[in-house]
Every structure is written in structure tokens, then in C-alpha cells.
Amino acid sequence: MRRFSWFNATSLTLGFAFLYLPMVILVIYSFNASKLVTVWAGFSTRWYGELIRNEEFLDAAWVTLKVAFFSSTLATILGTMAAYVLVRAGRFSGRTLFSGMIYAPLVMPEVITGLSLLLLFIGIGLDRGVLTIVLAHTTFSMCYVSVVVSSRLTSFDRSLEEAALDLGCSPFDAFRLVTLPIIAPAVISGWLLAFTLSLDDLVIASFTTGPSATTLPIKIFSAVRLGVSPEINALSTIMIGIVTVGVITASLISKRAAVAQARDEQAAARTT
């Protein structure tokens, strides 16, 4: 077994410090009593209270969650349909163009995507707001869902569907009762990925938003341009905490599922 050398330990420590030390400093200074984010003036939870009373941040957070939920749901539906067509439809006229249009947002600069969508909305006379942001986020996140679901459909055992069809299921019932439950982890993963991308987006939302809808990244970016406020540190700390809890919960659930699966396999092996 290869020993863990001092060089590896130092490299690992420096790498983690580079990634997470700024977050630790941000969390510490979110409890700073001073208005100056670079001067420590004592421990205080004052800025969390100020954040809760800040209606502009709360409204922006609500808009962001609403946009992320609807855009990720729509992107999951369309991305799953596109993946199913690409994997199961075989060769058809225009398949290359169709797949290229599906995967184009993966390599397209966000500035180009945002500008093109802005010109589209102006051309059709659609007022910019929550609806336009949802459509924009659906456009660029649908391809990520399609990639995730396509990878699962490629390794899917089609004999299960054929057995369901032989037993009298219609193609739709076979997909609903057999295929969809099996590929559900990939669909859920695609939804979570699309939800995360929507929460994080700034460039495309800045092109497609209007006065009636301001997302949280746009609000934070506008506030930071005037100077970093302790409220932003508090907001960032809350977001870090939510992500940390989500990651730990997902890890525990996956670990428990793996343990349960191993226990079932051992029980099945003993019975045989």
C-alpha cells in the first residue's frame, strides 16, 4: 500500500485551503458587529436580523426560487423527452441538426445566449419578467438534463420494456410503469442540476429580466458594486449552510441505500 507522503498532505491541505478558506472567512465576518466587512468589532448576529427585514433581498430570493422551480421542472420534462428521442428513435431525418440544437447551449457563451434570447423576446413583443427568465433558464438547462438522462437510457435494459409490452402494456404504460421508475434517479439528478444552474445564473438572467423581476444573483451583484455589505455575508452564509446540509443529507441517504442494498444481496446469497 502506498504511503501518504508529506508532499501529498501539503498539496491536499493547500488545495482545500484555497477552496474553502475564503468561505470560512466569509462565515466568520457574517457575525461581525461592524459595518466594515474588513474590520472585526466583535461577535454579533445583527446582520441576520437586518437581512430578514430586508424586503428587497427577500423578494429577490422568492423570485429566484420560483424561477428555478418552474424552469427546472420544464427543462426536466423537455430534456427527458429529447433524450428519449435521441436514444430510442434511431436514425431519422434531421437527427444531426436536432442533437446539435439540443447540445448547443453546452458550448455557447452565456452572453451570446442571453443576447439572442433578449432579441427574440423583443421581436415577439414579450414583456420581460418572470416568464422570460423561466423560458431562458429552460433553454440553457434543458441540455444538461438531456445529457444526464441520455447516459442512463443508453445503459437501460430494453428487454424489460419488451416484457411489459408482451404482457399487454401499451408503449405509454410501459414507459410510465417500467422505464420511468428505473431512470428516475437520472431524471431527479437532471432536475437538481437544472435547479442549481438556475439559482446560480447571472448573465442570462441580466439580459432577460425586467423591472418587475429581479433574481437574487442580480441583486447581490448590484449591491456588491456599491460595496460589500455585511448583509451579503449573512446571506452567503445561509446559502452555504443550506448547501452543506443538502450535501450531507444526500450522502447519508445514498450511504444508507448502499448498505441496505448490500444487506439484501447478502440475504439473497444466503438463501440460495
Q: How many CB atoms lie within 10 A of CB 116?
A: 14
Give exposure, 56-83, as e/b (b: 16+ Cβ within 10 Å).
Answer: ebeebbebbeebbebbbebbbebbbebb
pLDDT at position 72? 92
Q: Which of 228, 196, 198, 219 is nearest to 22 (CA)?
A: 228
- Tally of structural domains, the chain: 1
**What global pTM score does this model have?**
0.81
12: in domain: no
> Exposure of 18 by Cβ count < 10 A (0-12 exposed, 13-18 middle, 19+ buried)?
exposed
pLDDT at position 133? 92
272: in domain: no
pLDDT at position 2? 60
Residue 210: in which H helix or E strand, if any?
none
For residue 105, the domain's CATH number is 1.10.3720.10
Helices (H), the chain: 6-29, 46-52, 55-88, 95-107, 110-123, 130-154, 158-166, 171-174, 180-200, 203-208, 216-225, 230-271
pLDDT at position 76? 93
15: in domain: no
Averaged pLDDT in 10-residue chunks for the chain of 272 residues: 73 87 86 78 83 84 90 92 84 80 85 90 88 91 90 82 82 82 86 88 88 84 76 84 81 76 72 66
260: in domain: no
85: in domain: yes
Domain with 95, as residue range(s), is: 51-233
Q: Are the C-beta atoms of 172 and 94 separated by less than 8 Å?
A: no
116: in domain: yes
pLDDT at position 268? 67
256: in domain: no
pLDDT at position 266? 77
pLDDT at position 3? 67
182: in domain: yes
pLDDT at position 77? 93
